[in-house]
Structure 1
Amino acid sequence: MENSFIYLDSCNTCQRIKDELNLPNSIQLQNTKEQPVNVKQLEYLKKQSGSYESLFNRRAQLYRKRGLHEQDLSEVDYKELLLDHYTFIKRPILIYDDKAYIGNSKKTVAAAIEALDND
């Protein structure tokens, strides 16, 4: 998978982390609103994270608006939702040296910074 940084341009947390990472020019930037995650990327991310559910952003406004918090969602449901709307993907995601760093936890960001600094 190509080295890339998947983020939402209007997300302040994504912007802050993007700045913290000090990304090299070799990393392709992908604003998920303009260029949503495709099936190939989603399959790769599922392999990295273990499930579609682990890639799902429950903080997305549409999660409650669509009443999804009241449903028992399956892996198939999560996959369809992730492909349906850009806000459902956890972000940001750094794909670097065939490893994905998914989300904005301090631990994930620290691991991404370390991976970038080691090169």
Structure 2
Amino acid sequence: MTNKIYYLSTCSTCQRIMKELGIDDKFEQQDIKIENISESDLKVFANQAGSYEALFSKRAMKYKSLGLKEKNLSEDDYKQLMLDEYTFLKRPFILIDGEAFVGNSKKTVEAAKAKLGL
């Protein structure tokens, strides 16, 4: 199975994590600003995370500016927003041997490191 990372090239946190994990050309790399995540890939992550909401970044500036904070969003809403706009994805999304790691929390990065044997 291919190891893959979905990241934002302009995000210093993504760059730091990629460096920390030693992500190189053994990983398929997809800059979500150039090519957003596909619906099928997003579904894989949602299944592992337990929901689309778990993948959704409520810290995105557009979350507040679009008034989404005041709305009661469904799983379909979260999914569609992430497919329409990459800024709503928690990032990075990392797939290592079929296991998903989402976001940049210390716990997530440590779990990815452990999976890679670092």
Secondary structure at 2:6's aligned position in 1?
A: strand
Secondary structure at 1:10's aligned position in 2?
A: coil
In structure 2, the partner of 1:82 is 82
In structure 2, give the amino acid aligned to 1:89.
L
Question: Kindly, what percent of the aligned residue pairs are identical?
Answer: 47
- Number of aligned pairs? 118
Over the aligned positions, Cα root-mean-square deviation in angstroms equals 1.2
Segments of structure 2 that go 5 or more residues without pairing to the other structure are none
- TM-score scaled to structure 2, two decimals? 0.95
1:26 shift after superposition: 1.6
**Distance in 1 of aligned mates of 2:19 and 2:71:** 37
**Distance in 1 of aligned mates of 2:2 and 2:47:** 15
**Distance in 2 of aligned mates of 1:75 and 1:15:** 29
Is 1:43 matched with 2:70?
Answer: no
**Distance in 2 of aligned mates of 1:40 and 1:2:** 15
Secondary structure at 2:36's aligned position in 1?
A: coil
In structure 2, the partner of 1:66 is 66
**1:54-97 CA distance string (max 9 Å, x none):** 00000111101111011110111101101110000110111010
